[in-house]
A = this chain, B = another copy of it.
Amino acid sequence: MEQQLKELKALLTEVYDLEHANALLHWDQSTYMPKGGAVARGRQMATLGKLAHEKMTDPKIGRLLDDLVPYGESLPYDSDEAGLIRAAHRKYEKATQVPADFMAEFTTHTAETFHVWTEARPADDFSKVQPYLEKTLELSRRMADYFPGYEHIADPLISFSDEGMKASTLKKLFADLRAELVPLVKRVTDLEPVDDSCLKQTYAEEKQRLFGEQVIQRLGYDFSRGRQDKTHHPFMTKFSLGDVRITTRFRENDLGEALFSTIHESGHAMYEQGIRMEYEGTPLASGTSSGVHESQSRLWENIVGRSRGFWEYFYPELQRTFPDQLGGVSLDTFHRAVNKVQPSLIRTDADELTYNLHVMIRFDLELALLEGKLEVKDLPEAWRERYRQDLGIAPADDKDGVLQDVHWYADTIGGVFQGYTIGNILSAQFYETALKAHPEIPDQIRQGEFGTLRGWLTEHIYRHGAKFTADELTERATGSQLSIDPYIRYLKGKFGELYR
């Protein structure tokens, strides 16, 4: 079995080499590529994607897994070998259960849809994408049907990024969360709005960059195994465990934009940088799910990065960096500004309290579409209706409504949005557990020391990579299943204090 495992690893490493090379093509496309390179780059990425898929569906891998899966089951569940075989098996099943022809049709269709969306959105013309989205819905259902035996048609799609998570679980969880959030948001927004004008002055980009990089270095992002560059939309990407990069964008009239996106992406990156180096080139060398990944970006961005203690440490330095802008602004004013709650139309600009309402609207709508309870043509109105209900405001147009996010126009309908809210929920659950083990963490944060927190996260989450599923990891790390209670406690505590 030693030999077979070695063979399997070698075959998988080739797949990852292609996938990571492709990730570099994508990173370069977003950072430094001159515009003349666009056409060929698209083709090159398609070629590498196709070759990686061919390599991943190599029947040799299937034959090796036929022997290795039972062997893996005979090993201790926690062993690296068992975990590697489980993760490899999942990746193989996912790659082989969808026929190559269908995958090609789907990829071509979403590429076209994306292109049409880039024109429909600025033109505020939903009718342009409607037929494409109808086709996407049909293809999403067919995609799910390649994984029969599901309870809800969204389950296979959700499982692509949040292995094992089910629509029924999420529906319940999200309904409970919504029941808490909607009145909480109402209470806060009935009060006088927070003044965040201190963030909206002019902040030189280069100084913003230096400050942000200093912050994340202090948090624990390792620049010898990463770097930060500028892109239109911030993201984290990885070419190996030794090369985990992040990107950000700057707005000179909004100090929060780059700073919090930098911290957010560094949270994703610290997760990947924290995986055991021995896993390099294997299916274990990756965060385990979209939800757990998001828990780390949100933990560092919000729970840590928007906390009072964090700014007790960093605010004096920020004031020294921007004396004209912040010299006369108190820590209290600044801390309230970075935590301003205000219902808005755009998900990515949303505050910590309203953010999940945006996500849950999308999640419910995509379930309704997949269930056949909602037709694509009625989506724009359904969108407005839910915004009115949950946030008390609704977009005047579709541009800031149903056309807002790229997701439905570049992927399946269903299977992506849930990760954002699972992440928020988990961030509080993990943090609360870390605090129980190390009650000194808040004091340390006040001193600019993050090693104990990062150490706990590394020990219980990061180092395992994809060895355990999100559920297993949550259970092991926190002693219980995914629960909204810590998150509600956290939000009520924080915003109760901020808004008395």
Contact = CB atoms under 8 A, between A and B. Distances in A.
Interface of A: 13-14, 17-18, 20-22, 24-25, 28, 32-41, 43-44, 47-48, 51, 222-227, 229, 239-243, 245, 280-281
Contact of A34 (B39, B242, B280, B281): B242
A13 B43 CA distance: 9
A237 B242 CA distance: 25
A222 B36 contact: yes
Nearest to A47: B17
When all copies of this chain in the complex are counted, the total is: 2
A226 B14 CA distance: 30
A37 B280 contact: no
A43 B25 contact: no
Given A21-B44, A24-B28, A40-B241, 19 more contacts: A13-B47, A17-B47, A20-B44, A21-B21, A21-B47, A24-B24, A34-B226, A34-B242, A35-B224, A36-B224, A36-B226, A36-B240, A37-B225, A37-B239, A37-B240, A39-B242, A40-B239, A44-B240, A51-B51
Nearest to A20: B44
Contacts of A47: 13-14, 17-18, 21
Contact of A36 (B28, B35, B37, B243): B243
B223 A34 contact: yes
A22 B245 CA distance: 19
User: Nearest 7 pairs between A and B by C-beta?
Assistant: A37-B243, A40-B240, A36-B225, A36-B242, A17-B47, A17-B44, A37-B242
Contacts of A43: 13, 17, 281
Nearest to A17: B47
Nearest to A240: B40
A62 B448 CA distance: 64
Contacts of A38: 242
A231 to B, nearest CB: 13
A100 to B, nearest CB: 16
28 contacts: A14-B51, A17-B43, A17-B44, A17-B47, A17-B48, A18-B47, A18-B48, A20-B40, A21-B24, A21-B25, A21-B47, A24-B24, A24-B28, A32-B227, A34-B242, A35-B224, A36-B222, A36-B224, A36-B225, A36-B243, A37-B239, A37-B242, A40-B239, A40-B280, A40-B281, A41-B243, A44-B240, A51-B51
A24 B34 CA distance: 13
A241 B222 CA distance: 36
Nearest to A44: B17
A13 B48 CA distance: 12
Nearest to A32: B227
Contacts of A281: 40, 43
A18 B22 CA distance: 10
Contacts of A239: 37, 40-41, 44
A243 B21 contact: no
Interface centre among A14, A33, A37, A223 (most CB of B within 10 A): A37
Given A25-B21, A48-B21, A40 B242 contact: yes
Interface centre among A22, A44, A229 (most CB of B within 10 A): A44
A286 to B, nearest CB: 14
A32 B245 CA distance: 11
Contacts of A41: 239-240, 243
B17 A225 contact: no
B240 A34 contact: no
Interface centre among A17, A38, A224 (most CB of B within 10 A): A17
